[in-house]
Structure 1
Amino acid sequence: MSDEKNIAISGEKAYSYDDIDHPSTGSTSDAEVYHTKVNFIDRWATKLRAETKGIDMVTDEEKTEDSLWDAATMWLSANLVIATFSLGALGITVFQLAFGQAVLVCIFFTALGAFTVAYFSCFGPASGLRQMVLSRFLIGDITCRIFSFINVIACVGWGAVNIMASAQLLHIVNNGALPPWAGCLILVLCTIVVTFFGYHVIHIYEKWSWIPNLIVFIVIIVRFAMSGKFHSAGFEGGQTTAGNVLSFGGTIFGFATGWTTYASDYTVYQPRNANLTKIFFSIFLGLFLPLVFILILGAACATGIKSDARWAELYETNSVGGLVYAILVEDSLHGFGQFCCVILALSTVANNIPNMYSMSLSAQNFWSPLARIPRVAWTIAGNGATLAICIPAYYKFESVMENFMNLISYYLAIYESLMLSSHLIWHKGNFRAYPYERYLDKQAYPIGLAGTFGFCCGVAGVVIGMNQTWYSGVVAKQIGEFGGDIAFELAFAFAFIGFNATRYFELKYIR
Structure 2
Amino acid sequence: MLAPLYGLDLRNSSLIILFFILLTTILPAYLGTLGPKIGMRQMIQARYSFGRYLVCVPVLLNLATTVGFCVIMVVVGGQCLSAVANGNLSVNVGIVITALLTLVISFCGFSVLHVYERFAWIPALVAMAVAAGTGGRHLRNQAAYDQTPPASAVFTYGMLIAGYMVPWACLSSDFTAYLRPDTSSRKVFAYAYAGLATPPILLMTLGSAIGNAIPNMPAWQAAYDRTLVGGVLDAMLSPAGGFGKFLVVLLSFSLLGNLCATSYSVSLNLQLLVPWFLKVPRYWFSLVFTAVVIPVGIRAAEDFFVSLENFLGLIGYWSSAFVAVVLVEHFWFRGGDCARYEPEAWNDAKLLPWGAAALGSAVLSFGLVIPSMAQVWWTGPIAETTGDIGFELAFVVTGLLYVPLRTLEKRFTGR
TM-score range, shorter-chain basis? over 0.9
| Aligned residues: CA RMSD | 2.1
CA distance in 2, matches of 1:317, 1:388: 20
Say if 1:215 and 1:401 are closer, same or farther in 2 by CA, change over 3 A.
closer
Say if 1:95 and 1:206 are closer, same or farther in 2 by CA, change over 3 A.
same
Query: 1:414 Cα shift?
Result: 0.8
Aligned to 1:362: 269
Tell me the amino acid that sits aligned with residue 487 of structure 1.
G
Query: 1:402 Cα shift?
Result: 5.5
Tell me the amino acid that sits aligned with residue 489 of structure 1.
E
CA distance in 1, matches of 2:314, 2:142: 32
CA contact 1:465–1:473 (8 Å) conserved in 2: yes
Say if 1:281 and 1:478 are closer, same or farther in 2 by CA, change over 3 A.
same
Equivalences for 1:144-293 in 2 at 5 Å?
144-227=55-138, 229-231=140-142, 233=144, 236-237=147-148, 241-293=150-202
Aligned to 1:63: none
SS in 1 for 2:25: helix
SS in 1 for 2:107: helix
Higher helix share: 2
Q: 5+ residue gaps in structure 2?
A: none
SS in 2 for 1:94: helix
CA distance in 1, matches of 2:47, 2:397: 21
**TM-score, with structure 2 as normaliser:** 0.93
Tell me the amino acid that sits aligned with residue 227 of structure 2.
N
Query: How many residues are matched?
Result: 414
Aligned to 2:229: 320
Aligned to 1:509: 412
Query: 1:202 Cα shift?
Result: 1.5
Tell me the amino acid that sits aligned with residue 270 of structure 1.
L
Aligned to 1:424: 331
Equivalences for 1:263-412 in 2 at 5 Å?
263-329=172-238, 332-395=239-302, 399-400=306-307, 403-404=310-311, 406-412=313-319
Q: 5+ residue gaps in structure 1?
A: 1-88
Tell me the amino acid that sits aligned with residue 78 of structure 2.
A
**Structure 2 counterpart of 1:499, from 389, 402, 405:** 402
Q: More displaced, 259-268 or 428-437? A: 428-437
Aligned to 1:488: 391
SS in 1 for 2:46: helix
Query: 1:478 Cα shift?
Result: 2.2
SS in 2 for 1:351: helix
Work out the percentage of aligned pairs sharing the same amino acid: 28
CA distance in 1, matches of 2:362, 2:263: 25
SS in 1 for 2:339: coil
CA contact 1:166–1:345 (8 Å) conserved in 2: yes
Aligned to 1:59: none
**1:439 aligns to 2:385 (yes or no):** no
Aligned to 2:28: 117
Query: 1:275 Cα shift?
Result: 0.9
CA distance in 2, matches of 1:147, 1:229: 44
**Structure 1 counterpart of 2:379, from 459, 472, 480:** 472
More RCO (CA 8 Å, sep 6+): 2
Tell me the amino acid that sits aligned with residue 13 of structure 2.
A
CA distance in 2, matches of 1:436, 1:303: 52
Say if 1:397 and 1:351 are closer, same or farther in 2 by CA, change over 3 A.
closer
Query: 1:209 Cα shift?
Result: 0.3
Aligned to 2:14: 103
CA distance in 1, matches of 2:327, 2:34: 12
Query: 1:312 Cα shift?
Result: 2.8
Deviation string, structure 1 residues 212-253 (Cα, Å, up to 9, x no partner) = 00000110121122336343747943xx52111111111111
CA distance in 2, matches of 1:411, 1:296: 26
Tell me the amino acid that sits aligned with residue 133 of structure 1.
I
CA contact 2:53–2:349 (8 Å) conserved in 1: no
